[in-house]
A and B are shown apart, each in its own frame.
Chain A
Amino acid sequence: RRAPLRTWANACGPIDRWQPVEVDESRMAPVKMEPERRWGDKSGCIILSSFSSCIADGCVEEHVLHGMQGLHSLQALVPSLLRHEIERALEKLNLIEDGVYAWEMFLEMMRTQSWNSLPNADMPRHFTETTRVILVDWLIQVHEMLHFQEDTLYLAIHLLNRSLQLIKVTTANLQLLGMVCLFLAAKKEECLLPEVSGLCYLMDHTYTKHQLLRMERKVLCGLKFNLSFCPPLHFLFLLASIARCSPKVVWMARYLMELSLLEIQCLVFLPMQLAGAALCLSRRVLQEPSTPEGEAAWCLASSIHVGSEPTLLKIMHILASAAAKAHSRETCASFIKFSSSETLHVSRHPNLKNASALLGMCT
């Protein structure tokens, strides 16, 4: 079925030679709840009410799609409580080395996330949406097999999207390009690299090592070595930590966000928007009983999104319909990955199947 791409079973052989990369527990572990925390400041709720009323109106303002409108005035808008929460969360998530710079780091994440975003979702004509879905799905499988970190996958797909817009690649070389993007992402993010010969094996020796390295140079030159990317996962963990989300909500959001990699419409959204939408949808799908503390925390986390509600809603629609048909698609690597017991079987959650009901909840 995945004609040009090698099958899973075929590809599983050489993996045994690689030592699994040590997974940093603190990064992978879902955000822990801290129920004893008391909320003295509820100012976040005021912002949330505008958030929900905006959703109720269903107002889709095109001009807010590309920029985080709230960003300019973010510093003025956020209650000091939120700032404190952001600083704590970044430190807890090990995203920063020094707590003193946490707030600057957050502002920089917000500011720089748009630098590397794509201006449009245009792809070369021969790279159809179907081809793209097959390639990305295959890369998700290879990524999982190589035990890479989740960040590496997001970077790889980001590099793939940008490469396709910047360099000319024939249809025959698309798989090679995908592999090279994953390889480069690994060079940027991973401690342990697979051998190039192993990567060629995974492609059933369709390409030589020489071709792979030539493609590596081509991609690096095309991108001018610009490999920076702020992965949406960082934003997801940050939001989830502030919102005190349960592990299940976080796993569900991670699944939904991974589905966005397959959706070509999602290319133009900012990492923070993807993370916000995934988390929001996850909560709606799981419908966990709410507590006053939990709601307050959620309000606070949501206040980061002030101004981008229509975009969030749009992304939630895309993700909801992707999740509804995920189980029946041929390209179901993420569905399988997130159906395991470690991921709390989130992809098999019954609420996901009924897209219309999900969409109804969102509007």
Chain B
Amino acid sequence: MADTAGIQYEPVAEIGGGAYGTVYKARDTESGQFVALKSVRVQTDQNGLPISTVREVALLRRLEQFDHPNVVRLMDVCATQRTDQETKVTLVFEHVDQDLKTYLERTPAPGLAPDRIKDLMRQLLCGLAFLHSNRVMHRDLKPENILVTSQGQVKLADFGLARIYSCHMALTPVVVTLWYRPPEVLLQSSYATPVDIWSTGCIFAEMFRRKPLFCGESEVDQLGKIFEVIGLPPEEEWPTDVTLSRKNFPPVTPRSITDFVPEINEQGAQLLLKMLTFDPLKRISALSALEHSYFQDEETLTQTKS
């Protein structure tokens, strides 16, 4: 397939730069289907492809076998050598036209119906719970990589790529949006799957607001904007392994979340606060979020349940 990759997939258009390099929309000449091609350039030494790449891509392939409805399909992978020091790994994903960002932009006023938001959130959390139970975290969840099909099905994309790309990230200085980053990442503390829940909370709020919740311009600015809403966390919750001191921030008290997300109902507001919890250990998990009372009242029309 290495030799045929160029022939089998015929590039149609460039779709977005992406943090990790150019993404192409292409047509699979065998099936006629549209696909999204994402290439990673991996440094290769005399021992071939790095272990990390082999393991991470193998993990994505394993996840693929579960055929989860809320995760984008990884249809093919090929590795081609570019130079002695570089191998190009191309991941071939199913192509979905629309991401949550454009979906929200296209929604006419007054915005999405509450039931629609609930359905999108349920699907989003189902996908996340699946990834997290397989020990995969997304790390860069944002409306741009949450795909929404024309049937309204949510599919997570770009998960697990962060680790594949991280080894060569230094080569391409890119601006990655800070808006969906949790405090522990902004503070450069250790982090795990709760990072994705924070991002999900930001996205939850954005579905009602149709604009981002926290639009910081730097790490410190982003943290400041977060504390304006959730309040400055107590000293004992501040991580000890970080350089940025709590004293750098004004001692603000939490404000009501409904000041920022007025359309949200009571259960929704409760869930949102559990997602936007400063301490990652106290933040709600994807599985518990799905059991939250916000989802338990009247049955909404769901695309997927798993």
With A115-B65, A216-B49 as contacts: A225 and B2 at CB distance below 8 Å: no
Task: For the complex, give the distance between the alpha carbons of A214 and B87 in Å.
Answer: 11
Task: For the complex, give the distance between the alpha carbons of A115 and B61 in Å.
Answer: 12
B76 interfacial contact with A, CB 8 Å:
yes
Residues of B within 8 A of A187 (CB): 49, 51, 54-55
Least CB distance, B193 to chain A, in whole angstroms: 13
Residues of B within 8 A of A115 (CB): 65
Least CB distance, B105 to chain A, in whole angstroms: 35
> CB distance A213 to B48 under 8 Å?
yes
Q: How many residues of A contact B (CB 8 A)?
A: 26
Task: For the complex, give the distance between the alpha carbons of A218 and B133 in Å.
Answer: 32
Option from B1, B48, B61 in Cβ contact (under 8 Å) with A227: B61
Task: For the complex, give the distance between the alpha carbons of A196 and B46 in Å.
Answer: 7
A180 to B, closest residue via Cβ: B48
A209 interfacial contact with B, CB 8 Å:
yes
With A197-B46, A221-B2 as contacts: A214 and B81 at CB distance below 8 Å: yes
A208-220 vs B, CB cutoff 8 Å, 1 = contact: the mask equals 0100111011101
Residues of B within 8 A of A112 (CB): 65
Option from A183, A214, A224 in Cβ contact (under 8 Å) with B76: A224
B160-197 vs A, CB cutoff 8 Å, 1 = contact: the mask equals 00000000000000000000000000000000000000
Q: How many residues of B contact A (CB 8 A)?
A: 25
Task: For the complex, give the distance between the alpha carbons of A188 and B62 in Å.
Answer: 13
Residues of B within 8 A of A264 (CB): none
Task: For the complex, give the distance between the alpha carbons of A216 and B79 in Å.
Answer: 9
The CB with the most chain B CB atoms within 10 A, among A101, A184, A195, A213, is that of: A213
A166 to B, closest residue via Cβ: B1
Task: For the complex, give the distance between the alpha carbons of A143 and B148 in Å.
Answer: 47
B135 to A, closest residue via Cβ: A97
Chain B, interface SS category: mixed
Least CB distance, A198 to chain B, in whole angstroms: 10
> CB distance A228 to B77 under 8 Å?
no
26 contacts between A and B (CB under 8 A): A101-B133, A112-B65, A188-B55, A195-B46, A196-B46, A196-B48, A213-B44, A213-B81, A216-B49, A217-B2, A217-B48, A217-B87, A221-B1, A221-B5, A224-B76, A224-B77, A225-B57, A225-B58, A225-B61, A225-B79, A226-B58, A226-B61, A226-B62, A227-B54, A227-B58, A228-B61
Taking Cβ atoms with an 8 Å cutoff, the residues of A that contact B are 101, 112, 115, 183-184, 187-188, 193, 195-197, 209, 212-214, 216-218, 220-222, 224-228
Q: A220-B79, A224-B77 are in contact. List 15 more A-B contacts (CB 8 A).
A: A112-B65, A184-B54, A187-B49, A188-B54, A188-B58, A193-B51, A195-B46, A196-B47, A213-B48, A217-B2, A221-B78, A225-B61, A225-B77, A227-B54, A228-B58
